[in-house]
Structure 1
Amino acid sequence: MKTAIFYLLVGLGQIFGQDMKVFGKSNEESYAGKIVRIEIGENSLTNGQSFKFWERILERASDEEAKGIIFDLDTPGGLAFPTEELMTKIANVGVPTVAFVNPNAISAGSFIAVSTDRIYMTPGSKIGSSGIIDGSGREIDPVRRAKLESYFGAQIRYIAKQKGYNPEVIEAMMFLSDEKRVIGDVEVKPGSLLNLNSSEATRMMSDGPLLAQAEVNSLEEVLKAEGWSDQEVVTATPTGFERLAWWIAGFSGVLILVGLGGGYLELKTPGFGIGGIICLSAFALFFFGNYMAGNMAGYELAALFVIGIALIGVEIFVIPGFGVAGITGLVLLVGAVVFSMFDGVTWQTYQWGGSEEVSFADALRKPAMNLAIGIFGSLFLVFLMMKFLPKVSFIDKTMLPSSLGRGNGDDQEVEAGALFGRTGIAVTDLRPNGKAEVDGTLLEVLADGVFLEKGDPVRVISDDGMGVTVKKVED
């Protein structure tokens, strides 16, 4: 289903791309022979969607034989594990790469910089302070820190040496020491990390600059220094298709709200109608958008969602009471919805790094907020539908009537509220929907709270125009 929707939207993008510029690669000019500029801003390295986007851009630049890639950096840092994986991709992209520190490449930002072939810095810019901390900025316990520093240190030293940077400079940025260190002519005090300004990073040593090639005032000066002045520069931007997926994922709470509201409307209308269409469309968009945005939504979670609905249906219509099937179905349904909204990169970081960088609460926060919006919003929506939909002539004609004709099939009109307090008998099992005879009229009713058996005496406790709710009359 998701694959069909995907190709449908791609097809629409190809149709409308040239004139309306809506979706897909139809809007993306070739990178062949051009300089690709990738912006890494303040919050970029904390956003899982950014890493997926950069990986795609690097792959395109390599496949289309771009002339070079410039990383325009102004970042205080971000997620260490995804950045480490991105470093490897940058180092091995097969296209000349340059870092433009404009004006900060702090923490994980410095990792990106040392993955490139050369570094340029604006006057007064800074690079370094790359020690690993947990997701809240707190210190890590010594054993855990030793393990993380050993892991990251090995990878970053390898890449730094591969790119021709002094590993001692990188280690002084990453690792604390109880002793005073001198890097070039920069003194690093005990218990501190190295952070270089532009003049320090570009200072010439016996074997070349300490870290960066030169101070530059603009991107144009970077291009001139690299001999790329005559090359066209293309700034990498998300396609309309990617923006659509991110937009859909961003409104996951609203889609849950609409889906649940549509499900309620479907229960109140005969056959398969507009409510079912709304429900299926909302949840199809929900899974599709989260999948394309790089979240954890996939075929497996979509299947669990369907299984959950099926189990709840079995509990309602086949098995009396609310037991194992219903509870299991509810857990599967809610679990599938929640985990589909988990950011894939954030969850992977949690699995790799445990709670030191990203806690389970951090990963759960946004999905839980969207779920709350969906549930509480749908309750309010159901209230509005109960209050106003019976007054809408078009909707009223499609809704299940309060009463069903008996004998010759003719409908008997029952005024909303007229049945309140009346008694009757269940003529089918109520699980929780079914039929009851009240004052000689056969009605579609809903049992309140528990399932009832055929023949149970009932009393009408609600008749609001949207339906009749009954409760068992106790002896």
Structure 2
Amino acid sequence: MLRTIRIVLKFFLFTMLVLPVAAGLGGSIISASSSQIEILRVEGTIVPVIADYIDRGITRAEEQNAVACIIELNTPGGLLDSTEKIVQRIMNAKVPVVVYVSPKGAWAASAGTFITLSAHIAAMTPGTTIGAAHPVSGGGQEIPEDQMKKIVEFSAKWMRTIAEERGRNMEEAELAVTESKSFTDVDALNKNLVDLRAESLESLISQISGRKVVLAGGKEVTIDTTGYETARNEMNAIERLLQIISDPNIAYILFTLATIGLITEISNPGMIFPGVVGGISLFLAFYSLGVLEAYPGG
């Protein structure tokens, strides 16, 4: 048993040393270019690793002095803490950030609405939807009425503040929270919640050229996509793994594996493998459950 514990501890030590290095190895390495456009792709629930990925992508765009950083977004919602980090990072970016709800049939619901409206330029593909940003509990449990009232009020005012900062329709933005109102791409454009509709990434890049945006600190820049080149910054292997295990179904499976593995090892000392699998599964399950217990934005 002690031997098993030593093996598991060595694995965790190895993980702690390797993960920080591996986490920085996402996307391709390219030279700085004033015509470069950084492209990020966010699919799925907004969780801590997504916030870290977006932060990494925007940071690289700033380091490369990119024309813009485009975030292709398709999400059902996510955690309030992670959403807050993303919104703050976008609003304090030193390069223009464009959030593009895509592909057709995609949505930027709940947390995705906050993120979309916080962008310097918000765009949607025809056939997409945003809104329904009323807070809910991630675990499905009931939230006390007085506590829910405070959360809704805070979220509504935060949404209004974001919309005001970007010159968007504050009343309609607030209704997305208080009444869980949703908007098609046409609705969102007509109600001044987003800036444009684009059939494709190429169309989007063409349409943002010549637009003026104000960055943090009041600096106004004009986007020029003449002779642009795109650089896709994909999630790295570690980020993808952490995103996968943030799924509540995966958390349940991991916890089950951990229980079976550790019980098997205790019942049959010296087998090693069940103990290692159980220990690793328990470590990942704790991470996943820690994410799921955080308060969601919707």
Q: TM-score, normalised by structure 2?
A: 0.68
Distance 1:149 1:96 in 2: 30
Of 41, 47, 53, 1:39 maps to 41
Contact kept, 8 Å, 1:72 with 1:99, in 2: the verdict is: yes
Contact kept, 8 Å, 2:26 with 2:233, in 1: the verdict is: no
Of 109, 113, 120, 1:110 maps to 113
Matched letter for residue 234 of structure 2: A
**Alignment partner of 1:54 is 2:51:** yes
Distance 2:76 2:277 in 1: 38
Tell me the residue number matched to 2:213.
Answer: none
Tell me the residue number matched to 1:91.
Answer: 91
SS of the equivalent of 1:30 reads coil
| TM-aligned CA distance change 1:210 to 1:137, over 3 Å | farther
Contact kept, 8 Å, 1:76 with 1:106, in 2: the verdict is: yes
CA offset at residue 110 of structure 1? 1.2
Kindly, what percent of the aligned residue pairs are identical? 23
Tell me the residue number matched to 1:457.
Answer: none
Of 197, 215, 230, 2:184 maps to 197
Distance 1:261 1:233 in 2: 48
CA offset at residue 114 of structure 1? 0.7
Of 135, 151, 154, 2:154 maps to 151
| TM-aligned CA distance change 1:93 to 1:257, over 3 Å | farther
Of 221, 228, 231, 1:230 maps to 228
Of 10, 15, 19, 1:6 maps to 15
Equivalent residue pairs, number: 258
**Alignment partner of 1:162 is 2:165:** yes
| TM-aligned CA distance change 1:165 to 1:224, over 3 Å | same
| TM-aligned CA distance change 1:345 to 1:91, over 3 Å | farther
Contact kept, 8 Å, 1:58 with 1:93, in 2: the verdict is: no
Tell me the residue number matched to 1:132.
Answer: 135
Contact kept, 8 Å, 1:57 with 1:236, in 2: the verdict is: no
Distance 2:193 2:56 in 1: 27
Contact kept, 8 Å, 2:137 with 2:143, in 1: the verdict is: yes
SS of the equivalent of 1:236 reads coil
| TM-aligned CA distance change 1:158 to 1:235, over 3 Å | same
CA offset at residue 58 of structure 1? 1.3
CA offset at residue 214 of structure 1? 1.9
**Alignment partner of 1:214 is 2:214:** no
Tell me the residue number matched to 1:344.
Answer: 290
Q: C-alpha offsets along residues 439-460 of structure 1, whole Å, 9 cap, x if unaligned?
A: xxxxxxxxxxxxxxxxxxxxxx
Distance 2:139 2:254 in 1: 26
Matching of residues 3-402 of structure 1 within 5 Å: 4-6=13-15, 9=18, 25-26=24-25, 28-30=27-29, 33=33, 34-41=36-43, 43-45=44-46, 48=47, 51-63=48-60, 65-66=63-64, 67=66, 68-102=68-102, 103-135=106-138, 143-176=146-179, 194-203=181-190, 210-227=192-209, 228=225, 230-237=228-235, 239-243=236-240, 251-266=254-269, 274-275=270-271, 277-278=272-273, 281-286=276-281, 290=284, 340=286, 342-349=288-295
Matched letter for residue 58 of structure 1: D
Tell me the residue number matched to 1:395.
Answer: none
Contact kept, 8 Å, 1:69 with 1:98, in 2: the verdict is: yes
CA offset at residue 29 of structure 1? 1.9
Distance 1:135 1:258 in 2: 28
Contact kept, 8 Å, 1:256 with 1:282, in 2: the verdict is: no
Q: C-alpha offsets along residues 286-306 of structure 1, whole Å, 9 cap, x if unaligned?
A: 45x52xxxx6xxxxxxxxxxx
Distance 2:40 2:113 in 1: 15
| TM-aligned CA distance change 1:82 to 1:9, over 3 Å | closer
Matched letter for residue 149 of structure 1: V
Higher relative contact order (Cα pairs below 8 Å, separated by 6+ residues): 2
* Alignment gaps of 5+ in structure 1: 14-22, 177-192, 204-208, 267-273, 296-339, 358-475
* Alignment gaps of 5+ in structure 2: 1-8, 210-224
Contact kept, 8 Å, 2:258 with 2:278, in 1: the verdict is: yes
SS of the equivalent of 1:112 reads helix
Distance 1:169 1:74 in 2: 21
Distance 2:149 2:267 in 1: 54
Matched letter for residue 29 of structure 1: S
| TM-aligned CA distance change 1:252 to 1:140, over 3 Å | closer
| TM-aligned CA distance change 1:10 to 1:106, over 3 Å | closer
Q: TM-score, normalised by structure 1?
A: 0.46
